[in-house]
Structure 1
Amino acid sequence: MDSPTSRGGSSTSSGRSSVIDSLRGCTLAGLRIPKEELRKKITLPEYMRLAMKEAIQAKNVEANTVTQLYQAAHTDGAEPPDMPESPLVVFINSKSGGRHGPELKARLQALMGEEQVFDLLVVKPQEFVQYGLGCLEKFAALGDSCAEETRGKLRVVVAGGDGTVGWVLGCLGELDKQGRLPVPPTGIIPLGTGNDLSRSFGWGGSFPFNWKSAIKRTLDRIADGRICRLDSWNALISMPAGEDLDTPYSLKATEETPLDQELEVEGELPEKVSCYQGVFYNYFSIGMDAQVAYGFHHLRNEKPYLAQGPISNKIIYSGYSCKQGWFFTPCSSDPGLRGLKNILRIYVKKVNSQEWEQIPIPSSVRSVVALNLPSYGSGRNPWGNLKPEYLEKRGFVEAHADDGFLEIFGLKHGWHASMVMVELISAKHIAQASSIRFELRGGEWTEAFMQMDGEPWKQPMNKEFSTFVEIKRVPFQSVIVHGE
């Protein structure tokens, strides 16, 4: 399997601008793919499509309508179904992509069986995994070789932003836990603002201008593209009980879960703790960048008319960054805006080490980011393409999305972040780690800000007891279709 930065799949595509990505889509390549030929290649037999739809709606693979569809397709004299060469199903977030979402959904339904296009506002990916794929598996168990082959060849398309892609990947990952293999590979149609997952795997940073013709080419590439692997990371938050945490979708409350016992906690622990867990694919961050993102998200929710698309989102985001003091307030002028060193400790397991080690935090750093992909903040690579001699000197290895390591770096302030993003300078390299523990203690701070894959939240802090964030790699690697 190739990683997005390995030979044959360069990461340079992650740094291309959205405009260039869109212009690359303005090609006649899509016009050269006959519609009927594509439809035959990717469309499931009708009885399978209808049976999957019925199973999902009934939330029961044993529903009478499902059984009847199977029996009708396998009665004596029934014509054998045509086996698709590369069967696809699509998940689309019709709210993403501005006005393009509903139009794209209609276009996709016209290119394949309507029942193969799932609107995430109606059908959740976990329902498809349990009942849709469960239906195919039931048919295969009954001796349906076409259903068995379709289940084995099936690929998934996600039309949405990074959050939507992560949601679908997480649900598909449950198949590995349940022993229901293979896990279908996933291709991406970018509809979000940043689209860093899409960029990292060659699907571009924006929706192409001529999408009506380009979409045929995209589906064909997903059907035939090579397969890559992607690490995902579990974040466990353990905090003193009693504080309310307004969690984003990516975090869920869970039963009390102990921290890694190999690393002892200094000081006293509270009698009761509240725990939350979630999975991220791109990054986890603490500090000013998350605070700006939190304010922007709330502003956009309160005044949705201000954010009508990716460009307006970025303009508003930049303005909000200035308003929050990310650019114009010195670190020392306000305890609430000073460096993270005052409230944060970082422990890691470094490359080629199984021992926990505390690492220093530069005093000027106001945001700490743990990065998995070579794309952050709409296609930038703040970790950089480091020279072999520097890697050796720092004890680092070349960064890939499937190497089992997170790259930890710091941003000092908005000006520093801006220069990092345009690649005039590099971020403050802190560590490269297979496991991370962040420990936060309040002091004069009553709250901090965190975000996972663009979903920010306000994290309350306690003066007497620490809040911990422990990050470890999920054993299963997601399966991604590369676009180049």
Structure 2
Amino acid sequence: MAAAAESGARTWPGSGSPRLGSPAGSPVLGISGRARPGSGPERTGRSIGPAAPGHSFRKVTLTKPTFCHLCSDFIWGLAGFLCDVCNFMSHEKCLKQVKTPCTSIAPSLVRVPVAHCFGSLGLYKRKFCVVCRKSLEVPALRCEVCEMHVHPDCVPFACSDCRRCHQDGQQDYDTYHHHWREGNLPSGARCEVCRKTCGSSDVLSGVRCEWCGVQAHSVCSAALPPECTFGRLRSMVLPPSCVRLLSRNFSKMHCFRIPETVALELGDGDDGLDGSAATGLGREMLTATESTKQTLKIFDGNDSMRRNQFRLVTVPRLARNEEVTEAALRAYYINEDPRDFQLQALPLTILSGNAQAPGKAGTTEEEASKGSGPRDSMPEAWVIRSLPRTQELLKIYPGWLKVGMAYVSIRVNSESTARSVVQEVLPMLGRQVEDQERFQLIEVLMSSRQVQRTVLMDEELLLDRLWDIRQTSVRQVSQTRFYVAESRAMAPHVSLFVGGLPPGLCLQDYSNLLHEAMATKAAVVSVSHVYSLQGAVILDVTCFAEAERLYMLARDTAVHGRPLTALVLPDVLHTKLPPDCCPLLVFVNPKSGGLKGRELLCSFRKLLNPHQVFELTNGGPLPGFHLFSQVPCFRVLVCGGDGTVGWVLAALEETRRHLACPEPSVAILPLGTGNDLGRVLRWGAGYSGEDPFSVLVSVDEADAVLMDRWTILLDAHETDSTENSVVDTEPPKIVQMNNYCGIGIDAELSLDFHQAREEEPGKFTSRFHNKGVYVRVGLQKISHSRSLHKEIRLQVEQQEVELPNIEGLIFINIPRCWGWALRDSAVWARARSRVGCALESALPRAPTSALRSSRLLQYKWMVSPGFRPPGT
């Protein structure tokens, strides 16, 4: 076993330091330039002793208005109690009621580790970081699934406690408990228990269940039943126990079909800090503290040195060695005895990337004093090193536990192997009569961005394994767990949706095409479903490595000039759905109207199961309908304009023969420019920022109404070719009509608007602007006559109708057009409310193709939130 400090390396031993939780004389810590606790409050007095759970409270003198993080009330007077590690502030009277764990021990309280899904940087007003509890005054990150907010430099210290949205073969549960998330509640939030205000816009206080939405004080939450019933939206939520996804090689972004945006890169996409940014902030802090304090760069093991990622710690120049060691551990939220660690000096050659390896750098500087006396000068950079240990106390968790969280503690020494540990803990866990050879030891790294599982070899020495982890990162030990689980062969199975293929082919043709484009392996890849009209297939892959290869390759592959789309789809266990469950399938078009779909996507992912929310620009509506193909009863919510609704209804018509629920009710959240269909069905003129929860409640309470949908066959005239006297006949084109079908100036105008928005979507960011574009382009179009009546003939019930001099001909299915209600007049007539009736309207003074015939296709069930007749 290697020594903690190599020969010639300068060390700063932590021997003789006070016990953790007794931070007498603790220096002020600096985290990436933000003052660690109490740049406002001034420290006075000594620690008040150990405080549960895991906090290190001490009495401080308040120099600015401060609020208690437990009761959210103002702290009157000059004295408060502050945790030196996580910045939790409390009244003296509230100390005994504190139940919120300190950030340093929070990873040990996670029941089932689930990684987070962070999006891009954004500004979140009046929100707080769940790690350091500071306000988010700079661009921060937010989990797209559980709404956890963190500073970018606090991401490595966040717990892997995201919502568990599917079963993955690891600790699968059928019963779900409340998933509490602290703080960032609305200021008017009421506690479910005491009915008093539990939200605050001043501090991080109160808790909320991310599944059912119940809100409570952290103290009152213990009085609620532990089991979560998913609240008001329980009939619309796809239960996590009914969704299965084996996602060993895929990130959370891939599993939830969230496009990877340009986000802040922290190391290799896992965790870490930008050392250069911290350097500049550190210099500002050093200037502010003048000559009485000194700012140090603290690295955590070889990994942070390799990435040049460090934390800044500000200490008095006369600080003792043990005080600096303790401050360094607190900067990394390490809840261990400082006497087990030391600080090793790093020369500048290591920081500049010169030849020597991390952790083995020699130095010509004089070795640090080994006593506990004050120091006059300290080097700029240090690395935390763990001292060698002859034995350690190791927690072993049972991998088969369905309810609660339990573990057994055993001591391991230099001779303890993974097999010997399994044999020792099985009798302690009540499995002494079973075959011990069927069990194995699994190491789980609970990073905030990814949870990694590694099966340890039977002969692996655990003490050496822990030593290697601490050399890589001391903090990583607190994020590592060991599970004993039964060895079982898990059959790999991944469903991949591949779209963008040529339409109209058969199964064998699609298989050959994919083999040519991506060299698929026939032994592990098969085509399970073919959607020929949409040019898409579903691949069943029985090898995790091959599934990952195909997924990454498809995103960079084009077939016949069209790029492919690849999505990872879970399996819905429809036989396990509750009898009263009618899950909601949500489609959102983020490009519609005022571009409000992006925020709605995030909101619906948090309110529902993210597996039931689909972004239409990423594969269209077909992946959603395939996922719900075996669900016996479901509903659909379309968030977009009239064109988006027509897109989804067309896909529904093409796939209905594959669905167990062929006629689901469809609701609309109008995001488009005109939103005629939304007006008629009483969903309003357009979305204007209403609470997404209220929208879902309205969908749940809406009544179903019937709406006609028409199929229109466009057929071109037969023309004689000049060569060989061959008659050229273009194939007929079939389109479906929901609102209206226009020929002439209105069709030309709509096409120009659509093409302009596709070319420059950034210019079409509001409905008001879009309508202005319509007016401007329309005025340009009416400047010349098209004499449409000379180009077309209109027949109704085999009788020809004489057309006046018109510019357009419109067939209307709903009693509204472009936001106008039809009125009784010479031009406009109210449509009669009988099935099979459409209204023809003529626009005075336009171009066209020939309309051959039209017929009623079928009706669709739509849902309307009101009882009044549509269009009134």
Indicate whether the TM-score tops 0.5.
yes
User: Is 1:274–2:274 an aligned residue pair?
Assistant: no
The 8 Å contact of residues 807 and 847 in structure 2, kept in 1 or not, is answered as: no
SS at match of 2:628: helix
Which position in structure 1 is the counterpart of 2:789? 341
Deviation at 1:161, TM superposition (A): 0.9
User: Is 1:478–2:860 an aligned residue pair?
Assistant: yes
Matched residues in 1 for 2:538 and 2:731: separation? 35
Matched residues in 1 for 2:706 and 2:837: separation? 14
User: Is 1:373–2:830 an aligned residue pair?
Assistant: no
Which position in structure 1 is the counterpart of 2:801? 359
User: Is 1:172–2:652 an aligned residue pair?
Assistant: yes
Matched residues in 2 for 1:96 and 1:84: separation? 33
Structure possessing the higher relative contact order (Cα contacts under 8 Å, 6 or more residues apart): 1
Q: Which has the larger Rg?
A: 2
Q: Which amino acid aligns with 2:856?
A: R
Per-residue CA distance 1:415-463 (angstroms, 9 max, x = gap): xxxxxxxxxxxxxxxxxxxxxxxxxxxxxxxxx745xxxxxxxx5xxxx
Deviation at 1:41, TM superposition (A): 3.0
Which position in structure 2 is the counterpart of 1:288? 745
Match of residue 49, structure 1, among 225, 231, 243: 243
Per-residue CA distance 1:241-300 (angstroms, 9 max, x = gap): 789xxxxxxxxxxxxxxxxxxxxxxxxx95533321111111111122223333333444
SS at match of 1:366: strand
Which position in structure 2 is the counterpart of 1:157? 637
Matched residues in 1 for 2:627 and 2:852: separation? 35
Q: Which amino acid aligns with 1:272?
A: T
Matched residues in 1 for 2:580 and 2:860: separation? 24
Matched residues in 1 for 2:757 and 2:540: separation? 43
Deviation at 1:42, TM superposition (A): 1.4
User: Is 1:111–2:607 an aligned residue pair?
Assistant: yes
Which position in structure 2 is the counterpart of 1:102? 598
Deviation at 1:208, TM superposition (A): 2.0
The 8 Å contact of residues 587 and 637 in structure 2, kept in 1 or not, is answered as: yes
User: Is 1:237–2:678 an aligned residue pair?
Assistant: no
The 8 Å contact of residues 712 and 736 in structure 2, kept in 1 or not, is answered as: yes
User: Is 1:132–2:627 an aligned residue pair?
Assistant: yes
The 8 Å contact of residues 794 and 801 in structure 2, kept in 1 or not, is answered as: yes
Deviation at 1:175, TM superposition (A): 4.9
Q: Which amino acid aligns with 1:236?
A: L
SS at match of 2:243: helix
Unaligned stretches of 5+ in structure 1? Answer: 1-27, 75-79, 138-150, 244-268, 350-355, 414-447, 451-458, 460-466
The 8 Å contact of residues 814 and 831 in structure 2, kept in 1 or not, is answered as: no
Aligned ranges for residues 173-322 of structure 1 at < 5 Å?
Answer: 173-177=653-657, 180-209=660-689, 211=690, 213=691, 215-240=692-717, 270-322=727-779
Matched residues in 1 for 2:761 and 2:830: separation? 43
Matched residues in 2 for 1:367 and 1:70: separation? 48
Between 163-172 and 103-112, report the one with greater CA deviation. Answer: 163-172
Deviation at 1:39, TM superposition (A): 3.8
Matched residues in 2 for 1:468 and 1:67: separation? 41
Matched residues in 1 for 2:597 and 2:570: separation? 34
Deviation at 1:406, TM superposition (A): 1.2
Per-residue CA distance 1:44-70 (angstroms, 9 max, x = gap): 121433459764648549766999978
Per-residue CA distance 1:27-46 (angstroms, 9 max, x = gap): x9xx9997352342311121
SS at match of 1:274: coil
The 8 Å contact of residues 719 and 727 in structure 2, kept in 1 or not, is answered as: no
- In structure 2, relative to structure 1, the CA distance for the partners of 1:43 and 1:385 (3 Å cut) is farther
User: Is 1:409–2:841 an aligned residue pair?
Assistant: yes
Deviation at 1:97, TM superposition (A): 4.2
Q: Which amino acid aligns with 2:865?
A: G
Per-residue CA distance 1:72-110 (angstroms, 9 max, x = gap): x99xxxxx7655544211011122243422111000000
Matched residues in 2 for 1:100 and 1:296: separation? 19
- In structure 2, relative to structure 1, the CA distance for the partners of 1:385 and 1:227 (3 Å cut) is farther
The 8 Å contact of residues 50 and 115 in structure 1, kept in 2 or not, is answered as: no
SS at match of 2:686: coil
Matched residues in 1 for 2:831 and 2:729: separation? 41
Matched residues in 2 for 1:237 and 1:91: separation? 29
Matched residues in 2 for 1:311 and 1:160: separation? 16
- In structure 2, relative to structure 1, the CA distance for the partners of 1:98 and 1:341 (3 Å cut) is closer
Q: Which amino acid aligns with 2:729?
A: K
- In structure 2, relative to structure 1, the CA distance for the partners of 1:295 and 1:242 (3 Å cut) is farther
Deviation at 1:155, TM superposition (A): 0.5
The 8 Å contact of residues 235 and 472 in structure 1, kept in 2 or not, is answered as: yes
The 8 Å contact of residues 228 and 482 in structure 1, kept in 2 or not, is answered as: yes
The 8 Å contact of residues 719 and 728 in structure 2, kept in 1 or not, is answered as: no
Aligned ranges for residues 50-89 of structure 1 at < 5 Å?
Answer: 50=244, 55=495, 57=497, 60=538, 82=578, 85-89=581-585
Which position in structure 2 is the counterpart of 1:3? none
Which position in structure 2 is the counterpart of 1:17? none
- In structure 2, relative to structure 1, the CA distance for the partners of 1:49 and 1:280 (3 Å cut) is farther
Matched residues in 1 for 2:588 and 2:569: separation? 28
The 8 Å contact of residues 43 and 84 in structure 1, kept in 2 or not, is answered as: no
Percent identity of equivalent pairs: 25
Deviation at 1:166, TM superposition (A): 0.9
- In structure 2, relative to structure 1, the CA distance for the partners of 1:158 and 1:242 (3 Å cut) is farther
Q: Which amino acid aligns with 2:670?
A: P
Q: Which amino acid aligns with 1:371?
A: I
Matched residues in 1 for 2:734 and 2:808: separation? 21
Which position in structure 2 is the counterpart of 1:258? none
Which position in structure 2 is the counterpart of 1:469? 852
Aligned pairs, number:
329
Matched residues in 1 for 2:571 and 2:774: separation? 51
Between 306-315 and 291-300, report the one with greater CA deviation. Answer: 291-300
- In structure 2, relative to structure 1, the CA distance for the partners of 1:398 and 1:314 (3 Å cut) is closer
Matched residues in 2 for 1:43 and 1:297: separation? 35
The 8 Å contact of residues 680 and 816 in structure 2, kept in 1 or not, is answered as: yes
Deviation at 1:322, TM superposition (A): 1.6
TM-score w.r.t. the length of structure 1 is: 0.59
Q: Which amino acid aligns with 1:204?
A: G
The 8 Å contact of residues 665 and 861 in structure 2, kept in 1 or not, is answered as: yes
TM-score w.r.t. the length of structure 2 is: 0.34
Deviation at 1:483, TM superposition (A): 1.9
Deviation at 1:205, TM superposition (A): 1.4
The 8 Å contact of residues 495 and 569 in structure 2, kept in 1 or not, is answered as: no
Q: Which amino acid aligns with 2:792?
A: L
- In structure 2, relative to structure 1, the CA distance for the partners of 1:99 and 1:174 (3 Å cut) is closer
Matched residues in 2 for 1:304 and 1:63: separation? 37
Matched residues in 1 for 2:590 and 2:570: separation? 32
CA RMSD of aligned residues (A): 3.8
